[in-house]
Structure formats: C-alpha cells, structure tokens
Amino acid sequence: MRIGTLIIRELEDQFVPVLRNCTNTTDLKKIHSHILKYSLSQSNFLVTKMVHICSINGDTDYATLLFQQMIEPNVFLYNAMIRAYTHNHLYSEAISNYKQIMRNPQDKKFIFPDKFTFPFVIKACAGLLQLDLGKQIHGHVCKCGPPLNSVVDNSLVDMYTKCDEMTDAYKVFEGMTEKDAVSWNTIVSGHARLGEMSKARAIFEAMPDKTVISWTALISGYTRIGSYPDALYAFRRMQEVGIEPDEISVVSVLPACAQLGALELGKWIHFYSDKNGLLQKTFVCNALIEMYAKCGSIGQAWKLFAQMPDRDVISWSTMIGGLANHGKVREAIELFEEMRKSPVEPNSITFLGLLSACSHAGFLAEGLQYLDSMKKDYGIDPSVEHYGCVVDLLGRSGYLDQAVELINNMPVQLDSTIWGSLLSACRTHGNLEIAIIAMKHLIELEPHDTGNYVLLSNIYARLGRWDDVSRMRKEIRSKNMKKTPGCSLIEVNNVVQEFVAGDDSKPFSDEIYSMLELLAVHHNSNSSSTMIEDIAINLE
C-alpha cells in the first residue's frame, strides 16, 4: 500500500512542472489525456491544479467536468472550484458547491471548510447581493471557521457594505484584532458609496496608513454626491502627501473637473496620464474626452479621440455626444456613420447623443430615421429620453400635433422632460391649446417648478392675454414658489470659484459688484482700451 502511494506521488510530481507551464485549455486537455493514461484522474492534487488553469482561462465548463468525475474530492478541490466560479462571476454555482461541502456532518464524506473556503463563498454572496445568505455564512464562520482571520473578516465587511448593511459591517470591523488597509478602505468605500461622506471622511482621517485606494474612495464618493470642489480638494491633498494617482484616481476626479469647468487641472491630468502610460487604458481616455467636451474644449477631445488605439462604445458615444452639445451636428452624424463601419455597435447612449444633435439642429428627417433605426437595425428599445429628443425636434420644427400624437402613443412612462419640451415649443409657436395640456401634466409631475408657470405666462403675454399673465403671477406668489438662483463657475490658479446670484458672502464681494457695475457702464463704450485702463485703475 505504501509503495503504491509513493509511486502515485512520484507520477504526480512529474506532471507538476508541465501543469505549471500550461497557459491554455487546449494544452491542458492534452496533459489531461496523459493523466488519464497513467490512471491519475482521481488525484485531487492534479485535478485541483487543472481546475486552477481552467479558472484563469475562464473555462468553467471544463473545470466542472473535471470536478464531477471525482469520486472523493477534498477540501482543496472544493476550494478551487468555488474560487473558479466566483472568479468568473458564477456566484450561484459557487454557493451550490459550498452547500455540497456543508452536507450532513454525520456523513463520513463530510468536509470541514477552511480559511480558504469562506472568502470566496462570502464574495459570491456579495456578488448576488444576498444579505440573508451572507448572514448564514457568517454564522458558519463563527461556528466552524478559522479564528481571528483577517482575510475572512475583510470578506464579511465587504459583503455587508455591498449589501448596504453598514451597521453589521462596522460590527465586524470593530471586532477585528488586526485591521489592515483593506479593512479600512472597505469601510470608507462603503460609506462613500452610500453618500455618507461625513462618516467616510471621519473614518478616512482615522486611518493609520492611507493608500491610493483610500484617497480614491474619498474622491469618488464626493464626485458621486455632486460635491465636486471637495473631490478636487481631496485629489490635491493626495498629491501633497506624496501619493501618486493611478488610473482609477484620475477617472474618479475627471467628472468633477468636467462639472466645475476645471480645464487646467484636466489638462494636467491628461499630461500626467500620458507621462505615466495611463492613456493605454481606454476608460481613462474616455473620461478625458468627456472632461474636454464638457469644459468646452471639443478640439482637444477630438484630438485625443483620433489618437486612441482602441475605441469602445463609450469612446464613440462620448465623442458623438460632445460634438452634438457643441453644435457640430454634421460632424456628429458623420462620426456615427463612421462608427457603423467599425466593429463597435452603437448602444442607447450613442443614439441619445445622435438624437440630441438632430434636435438642436432641427434635422427632422434624420432624427426620425435614427429613432426608427434603433429598434429595426440594432434591437434597442427607445427610452423616454430618446422620445424626449424627438418630441423636442418635432416641437422646434413646428409639428406640435405630431409631437402630441407621438406622446400619446409612447410605450414608456412619460416624465416632465417630455411635457416641458412640448410647453417650450408651444411658447415658440404660440400654441396656447397644447400649452395648457402640457401644463396640466407638468403641474402633476412638478407642482413647485416656477419655470413651467413662467413659460405659460410668457405664452399668455405673447398672445396679449394680460389678465391671464396677472393670474399666473398671482399663482406663483400664492404658492410661495422661488426660482433657483443662477450660478457660474470660474477656475483661477487651479482653484474653482462658484458665484451664485444674490450671494454676497464671498470674499471681496464689494469689489466684485463694483467691477460688474463698471463693466455695465462701459458696455456701450466704443473704446475698449479706455475700459481696460479704467478697470486697471479701479483694481489698484
């Protein structure tokens, strides 16, 4: 018996270097045939290694066949299968294999899970967002899992945060005897993802060792809730403490640059990305293109797009949308036609940018054609946003009756944007009858939006119905509605300043308003040089 075992081990050892150098399932199948030839198909050791190769290559079907032919798989093979399924996002299959391990403990074939089993099972629960199942696994960990294991604890914290159960996540976190960077980052990311930035910030500041992942979690959290100045501030602080941004960091902060118009910082990120090889990542280029487009530098966006070695559907869609927003409608349509010839198929976002371009330019025939092409050529069901663009297009073109007909036949739930577009078109073309219909729906959807009442009031004024204008103004006052104040942003010395109408809390607000008055006085002046001299004197 002992001699036979030694021979088997020697044969197994001969296959180890061969399997170690195997990188694809084609070669693996050839090796497997030799393993069968030497009657080693029941070797848990060799099958575990083969399953690992299948996992790396994404061939879970072959891994499953290897596993199913085993008569008595051990815990290492079970772990390899659970890991393979989880690695390839087959979470239900991973859970199913775990349940096989946890069969009746009285069974002679019962296998105790170990510290390598639980992290991947817990990850599968997180992937399925199965909180109740995750809690059951947590119970198994407490009952028969390894004591004081940071990898398992980190997996539990991650599972709870992804299931939005921060209370339990924090309980596990607080009970950990050894908290590493992963533990802290997971808690920060969990709060940030839920928009709880005050909690995220407090935990972040308490971290003993902050990594680029920590800073990125904070930056992306601020960006997600629209706190863009805080996102830029965190990004600058990260650099000040000597941590270099990675591709995730720059992609997290670029939307904040785009929303604030921080073009100079965006350009620096472009330079930094180019210098550090980050432009090889398509998603980094996509984020930069969007930033340039939203900051008004469509030429830079186009230049970067043209230089991209690989473009995905986001690249094409972002560029088409950017051209549309800058009024370059012909260029947007030409780019779309070029996209059609490429291997990349358009998606709903691509068509949204395209229809928006047609709407802004009044290209009625093209817009209707693209709306029809979505379903017919690409199997994409138009959403309310797509229909909204076409309603706006019909309204701008004066086809209000056709716009109403399209609205009445839409297979989607209508929102305020649809009726708002129609009301705006009624103002342009002086159609009171349809305006009243649109207003009726807008009052139901947005009862406190002052802009809708003002639009209808303007239609009444255009038609000379001053009694109705007065009635609308009284209604606005009676409902105590207030218009959202306008705001503008400007970037000076890499710092973005926000100005809100009527807000005098800014430093140097007296000087700012004095400057505005001076500009107004010189508005009709024919001598620009004199105005510049007066401004210079005033600043001194």
SS3 annotation, 51-118: HHHHHHCCCHHHHHHHHHCCCCCCHHHHHHHHHHHHHCCCHHHHHHHHHHHCCCCCCCCCCCCCCCCH
Note whether residue 359 is domain-resident.
yes
Q: Of 70, 98, 123, which marks where a domain is finished?
A: 70
In angstroms, rounded to a whole number, what is the distance separating the alpha carbons of residues 25 and 31?
10
Residue 142: predicted pLDDT: 87
Could you tell me which residues come within 8 angstroms of residue 181 by beta carbon, excluding any fewer than 6 positions away? 207, 209, 211, 213, 214
Note whether residue 355 is domain-resident.
yes
Q: Which residue has the tokens 């690249």?
A: 315
Tokens representing residue 143 in the block: 């009952």
Helical residues (DSSP H) of 379-487, grouped into ranges:
384-396, 400-408, 416-429, 432-445, 450-462, 466-478
Instruction: Render pLDDT for 497-515 as a digit per residue (tens, 0 to 9).
Output: 666 665 666 666 677 777 7
Q: Of 486, 504, 531, which marks where a domain is finished?
A: 486
Q: Are residues 337 and 366 in the same domain?
A: yes
Q: How many domains does the chain have?
A: 5
Note whether residue 322 is domain-resident.
yes
Q: Are residues 389 and 468 in the same domain?
A: yes
Residue 488's H or E segment, with its range, is: strand 487-492
Note whether residue 7 is domain-resident.
yes
Give the range of the structural domain holding residue 251, as residue numbers without chain letter: 245-308
263 half-sphere exposure, CB direction, 13 A CA radius: 13
Residue 479: predicted pLDDT: 62
Residue 431: predicted pLDDT: 81
Low-confidence ranges of the chain (pLDDT < 50): 1-3, 526-540
Note whether residue 145 is domain-resident.
no
Instruction: Work out the angle at residue 58's Cα, subtended by the Cα atoms of residues 54 and 62, and round it to the nearest 5 degrees.
Output: 45
Note whether residue 252 is domain-resident.
yes
Q: How far apart are the first and last CA of the chain?
A: 100
Distance of CA 369 to CAs 210, 366, 374, 390, Å? 53, 5, 9, 11
Q: Are residues 497 and 478 in the same domain?
A: no
Q: What is the DSSP string of 335-397?
A: HHHHHHHSSPPP-HHHHHHHHHHHHHHT-HHHHHHHHHHHHHHH-PPP-HHHHHHHHHHHHHT
Q: Of 285, 308, 331, which marks where a domain is finished?
A: 308
Q: Are residues 441 and 388 in the same domain?
A: yes
Listed as own residue / partner, the contacts of 475-479 with beta carbons closer than 8 Å and 24 or more positions apart are 476/450, 479/447, 479/448
The CATH number of the domain holding residue 420 is: 1.25.40.10
Residue 537: predicted pLDDT: 36
Q: Are residues 506 and 427 in the same domain?
A: no
Cβ(286)–Cβ(318) below 8 Å: yes
Cβ(298)–Cβ(306) below 8 Å: no
Residue 486: predicted pLDDT: 57
Percent composition of the chain: helix, strand, coil (DSSP 3-state, to 5): 70, 0, 25
Cβ(264)–Cβ(245) below 8 Å: no
Note whether residue 293 is domain-resident.
yes
Q: Are residues 393 and 476 in the same domain?
A: yes
Q: Are residues 461 and 512 in the same domain?
A: no
Q: Are residues 62 and 6 in the same domain?
A: yes
Residue 534: predicted pLDDT: 43
In angstroms, rounded to a whole number, what is the distance separating the alpha carbons of residues 420 and 394?
13
Note whether residue 397 is domain-resident.
yes
In angstroms, rounded to a whole number, what is the distance separating the alpha carbons of residues 482 and 499?
18
Tokens representing residue 506 in the block: 């800014």
Q: Are residues 394 and 473 in the same domain?
A: yes
Q: Are residues 457 and 395 in the same domain?
A: yes
